[in-house]
């Protein structure tokens, strides 16, 4: 391979067609990263569907990408943001339709020449699908400091006024689609256990009434509570303000890959608390705050609120996370990856052409 060759990449995605989902945020961040930091190494195109580019990076599992990705002429990379089983608790479909969709997703991943995962914990599951381990690479998510950053106390007060959040309360923030698997019912229960704190949830029903448990969740969201507010789906710029208006980030989700919301919070520097899941062990840093149930979540939140030293310690963990997953570090991973994959297949693909 000519080391000076500028590679062309067709980025294929429909992830931004549904508002307020992590896959869309990853697509925006990742493509902008390559366009800005990699402008001397790569030329980026979007949804061209043409057999003339060096690499094809598929970000979403839309059918229109299947044949292009499967073609022996193309070097195709599939970015895995979810596994078929993680769809349970997210969307409600007839059982047969759900089984067919899960089979389709598995087939879609197997069609790609290479796979990228955002969490190494999911590599064994992909291997079980029949994907070779040597064709799977781990590259983490990241969030730009230009979009998410800490503001002054004065600005924080302004944001609380803007979103009608009490100025004198310890504010706990949850972010994500309103789904059962996101732990939304636990979030509500934790708010009931801590009436002296104020809880806000940013996110809504991105998939409408096919959301799993939609009727119950909609009723819960519409119920007025003294210390809990649902802000609904918000634009990216607003999310920067909402993170800064809060004091702590709570992620009670039962299933994640590498939550973008967690990284966005870490860029602000607020402490975070997650559910005690094995999938976090490979991506989070140090003795991070984690809980097995709502009682433990409450105890940790109280400690963060009342113990200033513990608040500083957990805030430092967030800042360390932001540094580890900086855009510069992650860009180098992508640069090396794209060049390696091109070199790996270039001779084979050229002969077939």
DSSP 303-315: HHHH-HHHHHHHH
Question: Does 274 share its domain with 336?
Answer: no
CA distance 247 to 310: 13
CA distance 85 to 67: 24
Lowest-confidence segment of 11-15, 70-74, 161-165, 279-283 by average pLDDT: 11-15
- Compute the half-sphere exposure of residue 318: CA atoms within 13 Å on the CB side of its CA: 29
Question: Does 270 share its domain with 180?
Answer: yes
- What band does 15 get if pLDDT is binned at 50, 70 and 90? low
* DSSP class of 170: P
CA distance 42 to 147: 23
The per-residue pLDDT for range 232-277, each reduced to its tens digit, is 999 888 999 999 999 999 999 998 888 889 999 999 999 999 999 9
Can you give the pLDDT at residue 247?
A: 98
Lowest-confidence segment of 24-28, 54-58, 65-69, 230-234 by average pLDDT: 24-28
Can you give the pLDDT at residue 231?
A: 95
Question: Does 316 share its domain with 330?
Answer: no
Question: Does 330 share its domain with 241?
Answer: no
The per-residue pLDDT for range 93-147, each reduced to its tens digit, is 678 888 898 899 999 999 999 999 998 988 999 999 999 999 999 999 888 888 9
Can you give the pLDDT at residue 108?
A: 94
Lowest-confidence segment of 37-46, 67-76, 82-91, 190-199 by average pLDDT: 82-91
Question: Does 200 share its domain with 132?
Answer: no
Secondary structure class of 163 (helix, strand, coil): coil
Supply the CATH number for residue 303's domain: 3.40.50.2000
Asked whether the CA dihedral 214, 183, 140, 41 is positive or negative, the reply is positive
Range(s) of the domain holding residue 342:
7-142+326-347
By the 8 A CB rule, do 61 and 105 touch? yes
> Looking at the predicted structure, is the pLDDT value of residue 20 above 50?
no
> Looking at the predicted structure, is the pLDDT value of residue 17 above 60?
no
Residue ranges of alpha helices (H) inside 120-228 are: 123-128, 153-162, 184-193, 214-222
- What band does 207 get if pLDDT is binned at 50, 70 and 90? low
Can you give the pLDDT at residue 27?
A: 87
Question: Does 220 share its domain with 115?
Answer: no
Establish if 27 belongs to a structural domain: yes
Question: Does 112 share its domain with 168?
Answer: no
What torsion do the CA atoms of 241, 246, 251, 256 make, to the nearest 10 degrees?
20
Question: Does 171 share its domain with 292?
Answer: yes
Can you give the pLDDT at residue 1?
A: 47
Can you give the pLDDT at residue 34?
A: 96
Establish if 293 belongs to a structural domain: yes
Q: What is the mean pLDDT of residues 81-89?
A: 74
Can you give the pLDDT at residue 198?
A: 98
Q: What is the mean pLDDT of residues 211-229?
A: 86
By the 8 A CB rule, do 118 and 75 touch? no
Can you give the pLDDT at residue 178?
A: 87
> Looking at the predicted structure, is the pLDDT value of residue 2 above 80?
no
Question: Does 125 share its domain with 163?
Answer: no
Establish if 148 belongs to a structural domain: no
What is the tally of structural domains in the chain? Answer: 2
Establish if 352 belongs to a structural domain: no
Establish if 244 belongs to a structural domain: yes
Can you give the pLDDT at residue 217?
A: 86
CA distance 20 to 60: 15
> Looking at the predicted structure, is the pLDDT value of residue 351 above 70?
no
Establish if 163 belongs to a structural domain: yes
Question: Does 83 share its domain with 173?
Answer: no
Question: Does 38 share its domain with 79?
Answer: yes
CB atoms within 10 A of CB 35: 15
Residue ranges of alpha helices (H) inside 54-94 are: 66-70
Can you give the pLDDT at residue 353?
A: 46
Question: Does 39 share its domain with 87?
Answer: yes
Residues in the chain: 353
> Looking at the predicted structure, is the pLDDT value of residue 210 above 80?
no
Q: What is the mean pLDDT of residues 286-292?
A: 96
Mean pLDDT over the full length of the chain:
90
């Amino acid at each position: 391979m000519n080391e000076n060759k500028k590679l062309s990449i067709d980025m294929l995605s429909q992830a931004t067609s549904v508002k307020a989902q992590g896959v869309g945020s990853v697509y925006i961040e990742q493509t902008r990263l390559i366009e800005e930091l990699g402008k001397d190494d790569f030329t980026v195109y979007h949804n061209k569907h043409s057999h003339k580019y060096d690499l094809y990076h598929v970000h979403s599992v839309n059918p229109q990408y299947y044949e292009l990705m499967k073609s022996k002429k193309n070097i195709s990379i599939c970015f895995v943001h979810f596994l078929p089983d993680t769809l349970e608790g997210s969307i409600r479909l007839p059982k047969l339709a759900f089984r067919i969709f899960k089979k389709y997703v598995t087939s879609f991943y197997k069609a790609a020449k290479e796979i990228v995962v955002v969490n190494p914990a999911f590599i064994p599951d992909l291997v079980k699908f029949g994907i070779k381990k040597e064709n799977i690479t781990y590259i983490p998510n990241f969030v730009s400091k230009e979009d998410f950053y800490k503001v002054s106390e004065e600005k924080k007060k302004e944001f609380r006024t803007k979103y009608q959040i009490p100025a004198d309360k310890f504010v706990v923030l949850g972010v994500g689609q309103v789904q059962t698997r996101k732990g939304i019912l636990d979030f509500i229960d934790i708010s009931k256990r801590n009436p002296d704190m104020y809880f806000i949830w940013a996110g809504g029903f991105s998939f409408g009434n096919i959301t799993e448990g939609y009727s119950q969740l909609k009723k819960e969201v519409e119920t007025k509570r003294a210390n809990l507010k649902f802000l609904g789906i918000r634009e990216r710029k607003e999310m920067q303000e909402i993170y800064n208006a809060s004091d702590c980030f709570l992620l009670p989700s039962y299933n994640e890959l590498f939550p973008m919301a967690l990284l966005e919070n870490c860029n602000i520097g607020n402490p975070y608390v997650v559910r005690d899941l094995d999938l976090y062990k490979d991506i989070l840093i140090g003795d991070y705050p984690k809980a097995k149930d709502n009682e433990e979540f409450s105890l940790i939140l109280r400690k963060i609120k009342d113990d200033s030293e513990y608040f500083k310690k957990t805030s430092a963990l967030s800042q360390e996370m932001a540094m580890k997953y900086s855009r510069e570090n992650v860009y180098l991973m992508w640069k090396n990856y794209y060049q390696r994959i091109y070199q790996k297949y270039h001779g084979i693909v050229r002969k077939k052409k």
